Amino acid sequence: YSKCKYALALSSGTAALQAAMSAMDIGVGDEVILPGYFWVATVGAVVRAGAIPVLADVDDSFSLSPESVRSKITSRTKAIVVVHMGGVIGQVSELVAIAQEHHLYLLEDCAQAVGAAQCGRKAGTFGDMGIFSFQLNKNITSGEGGMLITNDLMLYQRAVAVHDLGYPRDTAGRLVFDNPDAQLWGIGARMSELTAAVAHAQLARLDTICAKMHAAKYKIIGEIQDLKFIKPIPVPDPDGDAGSFLLLTLPTRAASLYFADALRNEGVVADAGGLYPIHMDNWGLHIYYNIPSLVNKRGFASVSPWDLSENSASSDVVYDRGTCPHLDQLVSRTVLICVASVLSEKDINDIVSAIRKAAGGMDGII
């Protein structure tokens, strides 16, 4: 599907992240640059590898900013992780160029971007490796499950070793013990046959699912483009947007809080007690400063990478609110709407009507 040479099925996207980190030999003494807008599993994989996560800011599309990445590179930097949140691929070509210039790995976290593309090229194929998740609320789901793709044979063999018993396998499925570059420790994260059967069936529906989400999202955008104070985030390649989330920014935090409440009062809710639409202040473990274990530099079990002498040169790295100022101000005035693949024309029209009604009540707030 992705036109990559190698694909490895795993038990989860989290396991795929861990296998990728190990395949890239990321560990103690290394720094990994990633955006402050992610899912907790992304930064957790860096910590479990014993490396130091370094947060870079985002651009207006909520994607990793190349300019911020450049400012964060040190002699300890080993890799850059770009996270395609909500099915939107940002300035990935610029990030590839930066990684190549500084001889760094580039890992694409495509957990929310299976089916997304940019200029006809699928998510996960720009960097050295790409990972995906098939967890229950992703674009396609097998309940759980993940995938890793790459064009690099050695990275693939090392990932196979990590996800299995610590050694790669030959074409007959036999363990290979004479490849010292791929002798690691396994985490037993193989995808089960039952999960694979469901994922395989879902893959056949992926393009249809993404097309429905994309059509609904851009129908809504087209119907509200005249609104002065409510703007969808910019997307570098709208045609390749998987369409699963609609992020709308407003001029102030007060206006965005009012807007989120107004939408819910108009009945634009995913379900009774559901999260969506949600003001991004409340977007939980997707925002760096909402993760106590990161802010307080807690390690995995009793070992903290921040306390290791090998990482002492990175001791001044912080994760408090204010570390990513552009992201912080975007989060403070943005509302996120989940775009389901089953929205009817009536659903779409109801969402548009609710947005327009909410906009009409903002005159005294902005």
Q: Does residue 247 carry a pLDDT above 80?
A: yes
- The pLDDT, as a whole number, for residue 168 is 95
- Give the C-alpha distances (Å, rounded to integers) separating 296 from 71, 173, 216, 291, 293: 23, 44, 41, 9, 5
Work out the pLDDT band at 301, boundaries 50, 70, 90: confident
Average pLDDT over every residue of 281-292: 95
Q: Which of 138, 212, 297, 357 is catalytic?
A: 138
Q: Model confidence at 69, in pLDDT bands (50, 70, 90)?
A: very high
What's residue 177's pLDDT? 96
Q: What residues does 81 pair with on adjacent strands?
A: 107
Residue 152 pLDDT > 90: yes
pLDDT at 364 over 80: no
What pLDDT, on a 0 to 100 scale, did the predictor assign at position 276?
A: 86
Which pair of tokens denotes residue 10?
A: 């795993």
Q: What mean pLDDT is predicted for residues 136-158?
A: 96
> Whole-prediction pTM value?
0.96
Q: How far is CA 147 from CA 48, 91, 101, 114, 166, in A?
A: 19, 23, 28, 10, 18
Q: How many residues does the chain have?
A: 366
**Average pLDDT of the residues in 224-251:** 96
CB 41 within 8 A of CB 13: yes
Q: Which residues pair with 80 in a beta bridge?
A: 33, 106
Tokens (6 digits) for 332: 């403070």
Q: Let me know if 122 is a catalytic residue.
A: no
Average pLDDT, the chain: 96
Residue pLDDT, tens place only, 169-222: 999 999 999 999 999 999 999 999 999 999 999 999 999 999 999 999 999 999
Q: pLDDT tens across 109-134, in order?
A: 999 999 999 999 999 999 999 999 99
C-alpha radius of gyration, the chain, whole number: 21
Exposure class string for 184-216: b at 16+ Cβ within 10 A, else e: bebbebbbeeebeebbeebbeeeeebbebbbeb
Residue owning tokens 């005159």: 363
What's the confidence (pLDDT) of residue 113? 97
Q: What is the pLDDT of residue 180?
A: 95
Q: Which percentage of the chain shows pLDDT scores above 90?
A: 93
